[in-house]
Structure 1
Amino acid sequence: MLEVKGPDRPATISPDLVVEGGRTGGPASTVDVPGDKSVTHRALLAALLPGAPHRLTIRNANLGGAVRALFPALRALGLDTLVEGDVLTVRRAAPVPQPVRPHPAITRWPDGIPYLETAGSSAAARLLIGVLAGVGRGAVVDGDEVLRHRPMDWIVTPLNELGADIRYLDRSGRLPVSVGGRVHRSRRVELAVGSAQARSAVLLGAVAAGVPAELRHPVRSRDHTERMLAAFGARLTEGPGKVAYDGGPCSVPPLIDVPGDPSLAAYPVAAHLLRGGGGELRIPDVCLNPTRTGFFDVLRRAGAAIDYQDLRTTAGGEPVGTVVTTAGLDGVRAVTVDDPGTLHALIDEVPLLAVVAARLPGTSRIGCAGELRFKETDRLVTTARMAAAFGACVRVEPDGLTVNGPRSVNGPPPGGTAGLSAGTVPGFEDHRIAMAAATLATALPGRTTITGGACHTTSFPGFTAVLRAVGATIHEVTL
């Protein structure tokens, strides 16, 4: 088994995933995927905005670990969460103080303000910091040891330029931070990265404070925050490389519906394509926001049979429809991602795109992906090492990956499927790496064990059930 030392390989705490590849049954013609994780995060935090209802209902919520990481913080801020199936209700309640787990380098926590721990979810931490700075609610925001290594200056610097008082309590640019003074300055700020979390955190801070602001950003990435705030009545003006808010009010409705997550729909789509043999798979009610459909769009341009049907727009401004795909990669060419907009439209699916590319003829290139070095792991490195464990040739570049696929599409070479084989593969306790590995394993004869692979519950708690529905044999190994 390949291993990564240091921050690339957190301590293994999840059970393994075992996939018996090449033993697929007849897949279901239709499968469902959970609600979008990004939209659920934003809907939850909308409960903290001024004028939010005392009771907010979020239907089709994503209830993976990354979303649940917000629950303790919300309780400490006086919001109770109730889960019934995939319906999440947020209600006003008395604040429940959370136990403090101080960083060893900090000798004293600020007194009199709540401690908000967000586990390993960067979206939870960054967006929460933005909202707190906007409403002027003092707090300490922290995360686990992995999250404490991820950059926070992307949001702290512009929020402080807008008048917030956010201070690092240990290392500069990293959690934990104390959030103090409220956003109160109206000005233009320049964002250093194209990350949607950076733009969303700063925009939420401005809207929560009711302070006009203009955000300049280097690349257009997922725009769920803009669409949601516009649906709430906030007046936003968007143009090339910028979004501006005029300082006017918005109103959070008592009910928010969450569309299906396209990043999660990518896994059954990929499994179906890798499986081959024809047959149609339909995934209804998927968010088809063009800032999120890069995985499908890149493969469609390469010749994959992926279509969008039943198109409509939700009350929250999100385009939704049914993703339809026909199994097989015959005639599908190598893929190329060479512009930041496309990369950000599939940034969470890069590990999955890489393993699909390992089955495509020729050389595929995924560029503009330097931000992946700051995810749960350095996903450029961990994707390459995971793929190498299958026998794939994936080379790490300064800003991306190069994938060398088989030379021909006339069938697999003797002894393997496109030169790849089952075996023991590292999941690195990174849900995107583990799910990509399991998806590829469904197409390879033999048993594959993904170490720590059950970390998929971070974003996709129903992952194994969905893969079984498309014909895979997969189970968790109980520790």
Structure 2
Amino acid sequence: MEEIVTKGLQGTIEIPGDKSISHRSVMFGAIAQGQTTIRGFLPGDDCLSTISCFQKLGVDIQMIDDQTVMVNGRGLEGLQEPVDLLDVGNSGTTIRLLMGILANTSFHSSLIGDESIAKRPMKRVTNPLREMSVHIDGRDEGNFTPLVIRGGKTTGIHYHSPVASAQVKSAILLAGLQAEGTTSVTEPAKSRDHTERMLQAFGVNVAVDGLTVSIEGGQTLKGTHIDVPGDISSAAFFLVAGAIIPNSRILLKKVGMNPTRTGILDVLKAMGAQLTYLNMKENEAEPFSDIEVNTSSLKGIEISGKLIPRLIDEIPIIALAATQAEGVTIIKDAAELKVKETNRIDTVVNELRKMGATIEATEDGMIIKGKTPLHGAEVSSHGDHRIGMMLAIASYIAQGETTIHQKEAVSVSYPQFFAHVDQLKKR
């Protein structure tokens, strides 16, 4: 097939605020004493669900503008029993971390979410919380929403998590804030550490020893100021676009460089991507940098092991990059993809196959053969924001027209995504 010639994507964009940090800044501000100001907040659907839930718990939260939020914290003891259901929408982070916070309340709360949340496993959180004396009921013995929680006096535990999950770790640590004794979580690999970093910013003592994180009960949070850097998971789509689309040069401003999240950069470097880091700020609570990417010649690699938790959300766009790399890319140890917004192993494979990719699913990942020209097709995000954005980038290098169904799902994490693509097209 004849190679497609595009005019490339060129220009500078500011990546929207980090979703994980935006969630936590609202949550921690809500249970802190005093006021918390958040700048660089991500006004995506998921983070707005977090605001809505805490407003129902009696917290005064105001959107000063589309990226600035003021939270007037009530402290853990100041949360009020919600009159209405706590609807987390599509947000796994909201529901799992919220369960940890509600563990310390004396009242009754009911949690629901959308159709995707209803399929996502919750026992990974409800089981350890029950070990801490939290009363939780729900569908399939507490594995699926709707969930009902009545908190109370919690007791500290040392939990050995079977999965490296920041959501599981965070829920247990948050339950441990007012628990009797010490609460510790040991993981099989290090998951993202935004919770540990932010708790310290709110004045909480957190001990980190290798793969174990511990917190003493009886601590309170104090309101603070949070600057949210750009989300590297959102930046990943433009990092890959800049590398695989001919005649491209993209500068991404103030991208979060938390080392538990930068697996995507390690992978792209290993594949041969031309990345340059500018204006690096390493001494911040959450480090950040500008990143420039240029069109590159990529090669296939193996992605596995301890690297996976550092890039689990970026695997859909990495798979697209692999279709344009010389040789074979193998992704394994990523069974966690099956319990995301969709089964991302099957969804990525099926949708990219429609566009001509040579890709197959395995039990814990996928195998992709490149370099393969893609063609236009009728595809769907299946309501998964990261699949939608990956398919949008794929459509730009595909021969012929591509129709993406449910592309509105991208508003969960990147409301400006399509506007930013258009901006780079126009130069």
TM > 0.5 between the two?
yes
**Residue type at the aligned position of 1:86:** Q
Match in the other structure for 2:155: 185
Structure 2 CA distance for aligned equivalents of residues 159 and 70 of structure 1:
20
**Residue type at the aligned position of 2:191:** S
Q: Deviations over 1:200-246 (max 9, x none)?
A: 11111112547521111111111100111122222222223211113
8 Å CA contact 2:102–2:151 kept in 1: the answer is no
Match in the other structure for 2:342: 377
Q: Which moved more, 1:130-139 or 1:141-150?
A: 130-139
Match in the other structure for 2:387: 433
Q: Write the mapping of 1:267-416 to structure 2, written as runs, cut at 5 A.
A: 267-277=237-247, 280-313=249-282, 317-328=285-296, 330=297, 332-339=298-305, 341-406=306-371
Shift of the alpha carbon at 1:289? 0.7
**Secondary structure in structure 2 of the residue aligned to 1:52:** strand
Structure 1 CA distance for aligned equivalents of residues 396 and 222 of structure 2:
43
**Secondary structure in structure 2 of the residue aligned to 1:34:** coil
Shift of the alpha carbon at 1:65? 0.8
The one of 380, 397, 401 equivalent to 1:443 is 397
Shift of the alpha carbon at 1:439? 0.9
The one of 205, 221, 224 equivalent to 2:194 is 224
Match in the other structure for 1:32: 14
**Residue type at the aligned position of 1:79:** V
Structure 2 CA distance for aligned equivalents of residues 157 and 446 of structure 1:
49
**Secondary structure in structure 1 of the residue aligned to 2:324:** coil
Match in the other structure for 1:174: 144
Richer in helix (by share): 2
Shift of the alpha carbon at 1:66? 0.9
Structure 1 CA distance for aligned equivalents of residues 224 and 60 of structure 2:
15
In structure 2, do the counterparts of structure 1 residues 465 and 252 end up closer, same or farther at CA, with 3 Å as the change threshold?
Answer: farther
Instruction: Kindly indicate whether structure 1 or structure 2 has the higher relative contact order, using CA contacts under 8 Å at least 6 residues apart.
Output: 1
**Secondary structure in structure 1 of the residue aligned to 2:111:** strand
**Secondary structure in structure 2 of the residue aligned to 1:139:** strand
Match in the other structure for 1:86: 67
Q: Deviations over 1:70-109 (max 9, x none)?
A: 23311210123322121122246999997xxxxxxxxxxx
The one of 399, 406, 409 equivalent to 1:452 is 406
Q: Percent identity?
A: 30
Shift of the alpha carbon at 1:23? 5.0
**Secondary structure in structure 1 of the residue aligned to 2:143:** coil
In structure 2, do the counterparts of structure 1 residues 81 and 233 end up closer, same or farther at CA, with 3 Å as the change threshold?
Answer: closer
In structure 2, do the counterparts of structure 1 residues 270 and 160 end up closer, same or farther at CA, with 3 Å as the change threshold?
Answer: same
In structure 2, do the counterparts of structure 1 residues 162 and 95 end up closer, same or farther at CA, with 3 Å as the change threshold?
Answer: closer
8 Å CA contact 1:267–1:352 kept in 2: the answer is yes
8 Å CA contact 1:272–1:470 kept in 2: the answer is no
The one of 152, 158, 163 equivalent to 2:133 is 163
In structure 2, do the counterparts of structure 1 residues 229 and 420 end up closer, same or farther at CA, with 3 Å as the change threshold?
Answer: same
Q: Write the mapping of 1:92-171 to structure 2, written as runs, cut at 5 A.
A: 114-168=84-138, 171=141
Structure 2 CA distance for aligned equivalents of residues 369 and 238 of structure 1:
25
8 Å CA contact 2:30–2:72 kept in 1: the answer is no
**Residue type at the aligned position of 2:261:** R
Structure 1 CA distance for aligned equivalents of residues 217 and 347 of structure 2:
43
8 Å CA contact 1:75–1:96 kept in 2: the answer is no
TM-score by length of 2: 0.92
In structure 2, do the counterparts of structure 1 residues 213 and 25 end up closer, same or farther at CA, with 3 Å as the change threshold?
Answer: closer
Shift of the alpha carbon at 1:250? 4.5
Structure 2 CA distance for aligned equivalents of residues 253 and 309 of structure 1:
32
Structure 2 CA distance for aligned equivalents of residues 127 and 376 of structure 1:
17
Shift of the alpha carbon at 1:52? 2.7
RMSD: 2.3
In structure 2, do the counterparts of structure 1 residues 75 and 239 end up closer, same or farther at CA, with 3 Å as the change threshold?
Answer: same
8 Å CA contact 1:373–1:380 kept in 2: the answer is yes
Shift of the alpha carbon at 1:259? 0.8
Shift of the alpha carbon at 1:452? 1.1
Match in the other structure for 1:13: none
Shift of the alpha carbon at 1:128? 0.6
Match in the other structure for 1:17: none
In structure 2, do the counterparts of structure 1 residues 188 and 171 end up closer, same or farther at CA, with 3 Å as the change threshold?
Answer: closer
Structure 2 CA distance for aligned equivalents of residues 248 and 129 of structure 1:
18
Is 1:66 the equivalent of 2:32?
no
Is 1:44 the equivalent of 2:26?
yes
In structure 2, do the counterparts of structure 1 residues 367 and 58 end up closer, same or farther at CA, with 3 Å as the change threshold?
Answer: same
Q: Deviations over 1:108-133 (max 9, x none)?
A: xxxxx652111121111111111111
Match in the other structure for 1:75: 55
8 Å CA contact 2:9–2:249 kept in 1: the answer is no
Q: Which runs of 5+ in 2 are unaligned?
A: none
8 Å CA contact 1:286–1:320 kept in 2: the answer is yes
In structure 2, do the counterparts of structure 1 residues 97 and 155 end up closer, same or farther at CA, with 3 Å as the change threshold?
Answer: closer
**Residue type at the aligned position of 1:335:** I
Match in the other structure for 1:246: 216
8 Å CA contact 1:75–1:97 kept in 2: the answer is no
Structure 2 CA distance for aligned equivalents of residues 325 and 208 of structure 1:
45
Match in the other structure for 1:9: none
Q: Which runs of 5+ in 1 are unaligned?
A: 1-20, 99-112, 407-417, 474-479
Structure 2 CA distance for aligned equivalents of residues 302 and 23 of structure 1:
22
**Secondary structure in structure 2 of the residue aligned to 1:450:** strand
Structure 1 CA distance for aligned equivalents of residues 328 and 140 of structure 2:
44
